[in-house]
Amino acid sequence: MALLNFRRKETVPATTDAKVEAFLHDFSIEVMPRTAEKIEDFSALLPAGTRVYIAHIEGTPIEDMVATAARLNADGYNVMPHFPARIIKDRATLADWIARYQGEADVKQALVLAGGVASPVGDFSDSMQLLETGLFDEAGFERLHVAGHPEGNRDIDMDGGRLRVDEALKWKNAFQSRTDAKMAIATQFAFEAQPIIEWADSLNYAGITLPIHIGIAGPAKLQTLIKFAIACGVGPSLKVLQKRAMDVTKLLLPYEPTDVITELAAHKAENPDWNVSHVHFFPLGGIKTNATWAQTNGGTAAVPAKAS
């Protein structure tokens, strides 16, 4: 399958698992302005057309976010910045951000989420309030993703359940019928396939038809992953890492998401209509390391560049 404007240093090995290769087609990856600054040439790492999310962490100036988006867009990537409700002061600020992204970086996609801030800085506390402004629709955004939590989110459901997050997804599922934008769920990362499969199936049974871009942590040191997993509230699948940490022979080896990806890919091959449609990588061990792993295992970008 042809890649656009991509200089590949190595060919994918003939031993690549065909199911994994199919599952990793059109994968996406997340960056931040400060991590993107360290990459001299993205085209040496990622196929043109790859969807690149830009995480907006509290305290990051909007100017840095827009500049990163403009750079990635100019390099031929599908740019999807985060719009975290709890760090957006008011409707005027949201309108300003949208205008900047469109005018300076030709952005037409957004991940709309609450954001990991305990107290909102202004009028918005959740992604539904951002969507209800109608500003994304008025601006002609072509794709809107929302957050999903396969193992729950204790910031929302403090009892460890999923009642409130699932109700929010039902609302967003209904919202898609009121907009021309394509919508999908981009999830928090998890380390075990079975909880992901059960969660995705539960959404389908509940009538939530939004496709799922499943979050996967890229290769990283085990200690790094455990730190991020605890900070991000990863649930039961954290035990996969904890069990590995107890094995002295594996403790110092870098974690790779081979097992979880292989199992999910096999499930997708057996169930082609399964609602998990894409893989989204969190490069916790570095963008280069993650991009190399994805492509070594057959990951490719959508064709043509900047297509949905």
Q: What is the pLDDT of residue 189?
A: 85
Q: How many structural domains compose the chain?
A: 1
The secondary structure of 266-285 as a DSSP string is: HHHHH-TT-SEEEEEEE-TT
Q: What is the pLDDT of residue 152?
A: 57
Alpha carbon of 20 to those of 23, 36, 259, 271: distances in Å? 5, 27, 11, 14
* pTM (two decimals): 0.87
Is the separation of the CB atoms in 187 and 149 below 8 Å? Answer: yes
- Residue 165 domain flag: yes
- Residue 173 domain flag: yes
Q: What is the pLDDT of residue 74?
A: 97
Task: Read off the CATH number of the domain in which 201 is found.
Answer: 3.20.20.220
Average pLDDT over residues 153-174: 72
Domain that holds residue 78: 19-296
Distance CA 290, CA 22 (A): 18
- Residue 122 domain flag: yes
- Residue 240 domain flag: yes
Q: What is the pLDDT of residues 79-92, one digit of tens each?
A: 999 999 999 999 99
Predicted confidence band of residue 166 (pLDDT cuts 50, 70, 90): confident
- Residue 303 domain flag: no
Q: Is 29 helix (H, G, I), strand (E, B) or coil?
A: strand
The answer to whether residue 148 scores a pLDDT higher than 70 is yes
Alpha carbon of 90 to those of 2, 54, 99, 195: distances in Å? 44, 21, 14, 37
- Residue 212 domain flag: yes
Average pLDDT over residues 274-301: 95
Q: How many residues does the chain have?
A: 308
Sorted by sequence, the CB contacts under 8 Å of residue 169 that are 6+ apart come out as: 146, 148, 185, 203, 208, 210
* Pick from 50, 123, 136, 34: nearest CA to 86: 123
Tell which wins on pLDDT, 111 or 236.
Answer: 111
- Residue 28 domain flag: yes
E strands of 17-176, at which residues? 28-31, 51-54, 78-84, 109-113, 143-148
The answer to whether residue 14 scores a pLDDT higher than 80 is no
Distance CA 168, CA 171 (A): 5
Average pLDDT over residues 33-53: 96
